[in-house]
C-alpha cells in the first residue's frame, strides 16, 4: 500500500507558481508571482459536477480524480495554489491570500458566514479548487500511454468537483456516509500501468508539516472543536465511520424536509441563501440546512469554521450547497442578490458594510490586473464551466417533478402516511413545526468569540446521557450554529424543524390520534443543547426561543407542482427543555 506522498512521487506532474518566501524561509503574503492569481474555473466546456457515488462508477474519470487529488494534497504547502493555501482561505492560517490584506489582521478567514454573500462567495472558492484540480488531472492524463491517453484526456476535460448529496434518500442497507469518502484506502492505476492501493485522498489531509505558527488552536476553540486536535493532529480527523453513519442517518429525514421546504416555498434569493436573510425567512434557508453537516463531524477539523476546508469532505459538501442554490435559481430566475448590510464581519468585510451583487468576493481576482469577482459575475454557473445533472436539458416543470421525487418523500423509500410528493388528499392539512430563534454567536468561548452548538428537537423520551442524543430514536431534527472566532453579536436566525413525519409515526403506532395531535405534541416535544455528545446548559445561551407552531399546507395537485404553505403560523406555546 502506498502513502499519498509515495503515490504523488510516481506522478510526473508539474505545478504552477512558486513559493513566496522571505529570507528567513517563512511564508509571506500569499500572492501570485508578478501579478494576481486569476480564478477562471475549469476549462474545456460546460460539464456536470457528479454526485460522488456516480463519479465512482466512471472508470477513467474516477481513477484520474483520485490521482489528481492525491497530487494536489501533496503539493508544497507554501505554493499559492496548493491544497493547503487554498483551504487556508476559509479560515486558518490567519494571513492574506493573493495580496488581499487589511491594516489590522483579524483571527478570521475570508468566508462570509451568516451574511448576504455566503452562497455566492463559495462559487469562486469552489472554482479555484476545481481549476487547480483539473490542471493537475490534465497533466496526469497526458502521461498515460497512447492506447488509453485519449480517454484520460477526455476525462480530465470533463472532470469537476463531485458533490455529496447528504439529503439523498438512502436505503436502510446502504451507508448514508458514502464509502468513497470513508474508505481509508482506494485502488488506482498509475499512468505506467501499475495498479496499487493508496491512501484515500478523500479520507483526510496530511499536513506536511503541521506548523503551529500558522495552524493551531485559535481556529478550534474548545467547544467549537478541540484545540489539541488542530494543534497536534498531523492530519485531519473525523468521528468514526460508524458514528457518522448513525448520526447522518438520524438527521436524514429532517435534512430532506428542510431542504425540500427551502427549494419549494418560493422566497427571494436573499432569504434562501444565508441565515442573515435580509428579508422574511419564514421557510428556512440553505445555509441553515448546511450547518449540521459541519457539526456532526465534531471534534474533527470539519466542525470549526477556522479549520473546516482542510477536510476533503468540505469541498464535496459545499459543491452540494452550490447545487442546491443553482436548483433554486433555475426555479426562480428573476431573483438574485439584492442590497443588504453585513451583520457578520470577515477578513475584508466590516460589520454593517453595505453589500450587493457588485460587492467584491474577496480574495478572488478574475484577472491578473487585480479586479475582483462579484456575485454578478458568478450568477450563471454555465458561464463558469460547470453545471449539475439536475439542470441539463430540464424544463422548469420537470425540475419541480424531480425535486418532488428526490426530496418530497420518505428518506429510506418506505411509505409514510402523508408524502409531500404524492399527497393522499387535495384538502389542506395542518403541519406542526418547532420554530427556533437561534442566537448565532451567544455561546461565549471566553476569548471574545462564540462556540458552535446544536439545538436537538425530540418527540418522545430523552435520555439523561447527552452522548446518546444524536443517535436517539426520538430525535426529530437539529438546528446548528458554527459560532465564530472573535465573533460576538446579537444576531438571531430562524430555523424550522418539521414534526409531521414523527407525529405521523406516533399516530400510526397508536401513541395518539389526529384529533389529539396538538395536545400530544405539547406534552412530548422537547429540546436539548449539545455539541459532540456534550450537553450544554440552556442558561448559557440567552435569547434562544423554541416554540410549537402550525401552519396550513395546500397539497400539490400534480407531481409537477409544489405544495403551498401558508405564511401565517399559529403559535401554540413555548417548547420546554
Q: How far is CA 94 from CA 97, 106, 283, 342, in A?
A: 10, 7, 35, 21
In a domain, 415, yes or no: no
d(CA 360, CA 349): 10
d(CA 334, CA 330): 9
On whether both 352 and 429 belong to a single domain, the answer is no
Q: What confidence score (pLDDT) does residue 577 get?
A: 75
Closest Cα to residue 233, out of 140, 319, 301, 317?
A: 301
In a domain, 396, yes or no: no
d(CA 241, CA 125): 28
In a domain, 476, yes or no: yes
Query: Which residue range is the domain that position 169 belongs to?
Result: 4-391
d(CA 97, CA 76): 16
On whether both 370 and 488 belong to a single domain, the answer is no
Closest Cα to residue 483, out of 223, 226, 272, 289?
A: 223
The backbone torsions φ and ψ at residue 297, rounded to the nearest 5 degrees and listed phi first, read -90, 0
On whether both 264 and 335 belong to a single domain, the answer is yes
Q: What confidence score (pLDDT) does residue 486 get?
A: 78
d(CA 103, CA 232): 30
- In this prediction, residue 487 has a pLDDT band, given cuts at 50, 70 and 90, of confident
Within a 10 A sphere around the Cβ of 516, how many other Cβ atoms?
Answer: 12
Query: In this model, does residue 10 exceed pLDDT 80?
Result: no
Q: What is the pLDDT of residues 426-458, one digit of tens each?
A: 789 999 999 999 999 899 888 888 888 999 999
In a domain, 412, yes or no: no
On whether both 319 and 432 belong to a single domain, the answer is no
On whether both 374 and 488 belong to a single domain, the answer is no
Q: What is the pLDDT of residues 251-300, one digit of tens each?
A: 999 999 999 999 999 789 999 998 877 766 678 899 999 999 999 999 99
On whether both 245 and 102 belong to a single domain, the answer is yes
In a domain, 434, yes or no: yes
In a domain, 53, yes or no: yes
In a domain, 98, yes or no: yes
d(CA 10, CA 67): 10
On whether both 370 and 427 belong to a single domain, the answer is no
Kindly state the cell numbers that stand for 150: 485519449
Kindly state the cell numbers that stand for 57: 462508477
Handedness of CA 564, 566, 569, 570 (dihedral sign): negative
d(CA 102, CA 360): 14
Candidate from 4-13, 101-110, 140-149, 522-531 with smallest mean pLDDT: 4-13
Candidate from 24-38, 243-257, 366-380, 553-567 with smallest mean pLDDT: 24-38
The CATH number of the domain holding residue 461 is 2.60.310
Kindly state the cell numbers that stand for 332: 426562480
Q: How far is CA 158 from CA 15, 135, 153, 181, in A?
A: 20, 12, 9, 21
In a domain, 34, yes or no: yes
On whether both 176 and 45 belong to a single domain, the answer is yes
Number of domain units in the chain: 2
On whether both 330 and 457 belong to a single domain, the answer is no
SS3 104: coil
Amino acid at each position: 500500500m502506498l502513502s499519498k506522498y509515495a503515490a504523488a512521487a510516481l506522478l510526473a506532474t508539474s505545478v504552477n507558481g512558486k513559493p513566496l518566501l522571505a529570507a528567513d524561509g517563512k511564508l509571506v503574503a500569499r500572492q501570485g508571482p508578478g501579478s494576481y492569481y486569476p480564478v477562471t474555473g475549469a476549462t474545456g466546456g460546460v460539464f456536470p459536477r457528479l454526485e460522488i457515488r456516480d463519479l465512482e462508477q466512471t472508470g477513467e474519470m474516477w481513477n484520474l480524480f483520485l490521482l489528481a487529488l492525491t497530487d494536489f494534497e501533496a503539493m508544497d504547502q507554501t505554493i499559492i495554489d496548493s491544497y493547503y493555501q487554498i483551504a487556508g482561505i476559509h479560515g486558518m492560517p490567519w494571513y492574506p491570500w493573493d495580496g488581499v490584506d487589511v491594516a489590522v489582521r483579524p483571527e478570521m478567514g475570508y468566508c462570509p458566514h451568516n451574511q448576504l454573500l455566503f452562497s455566492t462567495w463559495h462559487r469562486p472558492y469552489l472554482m479555484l479548487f476545481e481549476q487547480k484540480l483539473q490542471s493537475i488531472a490534465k497533466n496526469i492524463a497526458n502521461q498515460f500511454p497512447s492506447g488509453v491517453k485519449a480517454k484520460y484526456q477526455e476525462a480530465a476535460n470533463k472532470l469537476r468537483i463531485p458533490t455529496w448529496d447528504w439529503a439523498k434518500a438512502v436505503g436502510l442497507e446502504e451507508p448514508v456516509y458514502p464509502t468513497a469518502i470513508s474508505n481509508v484506502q482506494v485502488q488506482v492505476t498509475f499512468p505506467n500501468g501499475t495498479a496499487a492501493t493508496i491512501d484515500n485522498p478523500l479520507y483526510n489531509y496530511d499536513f506536511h508539516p503541521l506548523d503551529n505558527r500558522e495552524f493551531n488552536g485559535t481556529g478550534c476553540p474548545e467547544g467549537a472543536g478541540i484545540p489539541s486536535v488542530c494543534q497536534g493532529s498531523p492530519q485531519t480527523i473525523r468521528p468514526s465511520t460508524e458514528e457518522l453513519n448513525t448520526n447522518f442517518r438520524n438527521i436524514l429525514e429532517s435534512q430532506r424536509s428542510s431542504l425540500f421546504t427551502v427549494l419549494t416555498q418560493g422566497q427571494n434569493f436573499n432569504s434562501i441563501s444565508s441565515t442573515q436573510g435580509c428579508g422574511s425567512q419564514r421557510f428556512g434557508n440553505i445555509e441553515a440546512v448546511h450547518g449540521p453537516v459541519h457539526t456532526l463531524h465534531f471534534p474533527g477539523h470539519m466542525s470549526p469554521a477556522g479549520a473546516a476546508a482542510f477536510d476533503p469532505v468540505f469541498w464535496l459538501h459545499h459543491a452540494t450547497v452550490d447545487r442546491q442554490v443553482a436548483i433554486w435559481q433555475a426555479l426562480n430566475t428573476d431573483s438574485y442578490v439584492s442590497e443588504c448590510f453585513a451583520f457578520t464581519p470577515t477578513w475584508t468585510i466590516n460589520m454593517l458594510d453595505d453589500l450587493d451583487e457588485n460587492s467584491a468576493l474577496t480574495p478572488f481576482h478574475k484577472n491578473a490586473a487585480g479586479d475582483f469577482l462579484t456575485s454578478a459575475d458568478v450568477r450563471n454557473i454555465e458561464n463558469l464551466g460547470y453545471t449539475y445533472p439536475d439542470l441539463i436539458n430540464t424544463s422548469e416543470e420537470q425540475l419541480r417533478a424531480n425535486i418532488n421525487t428526490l426530496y418530497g418523500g420518505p428518506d429510506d423509500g418506505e411509505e409514510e402516511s402523508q408524502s409531500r410528493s404524492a399527497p393522499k388528499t387535495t384538502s389542506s392539512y395542518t403541519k406542526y413545526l418547532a420554530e427556533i430563534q437561534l442566537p448565532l454567536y451567544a455561546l461565549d468561548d471566553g476569548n471574545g468569540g462564540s462556540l458552535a452548538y446544536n439545538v436537538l428537537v425530540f418527540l418522545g423520551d430523552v435520555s439523561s446521557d447527552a452522548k446518546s442524543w444524536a443517535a436517539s430514536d426520538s430525535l426529530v431534527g437539529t438546528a446548528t450554529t458554527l459560532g465564530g472566532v472573535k465573533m460576538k453579536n446579537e444576531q438571531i436566525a430562524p430555523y424550522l424543524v418539521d414534526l409531521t413525519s414523527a407525529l405521523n409515526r406516533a399516530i400510526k403506532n397508536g401513541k395518539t390520534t389526529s384529533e389529539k395531535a396538538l395536545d400530544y405534541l405539547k406534552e412530548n416535544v422537547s429540546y436539548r443543547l449539545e455539541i459532540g455528545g456534550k450537553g450544554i446548559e440552556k442558561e448559557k445561551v440567552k435569547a434562544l426561543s423554541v416554540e410549537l407552531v402550525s401552519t396550513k399546507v395546500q397539497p400539490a395537485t400534480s407531481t409537477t407542482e409544489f405544495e403551498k404553505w401558508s405564511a401565517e403560523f399559529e403559535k401554540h406555546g413555548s417548547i420546554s427543555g
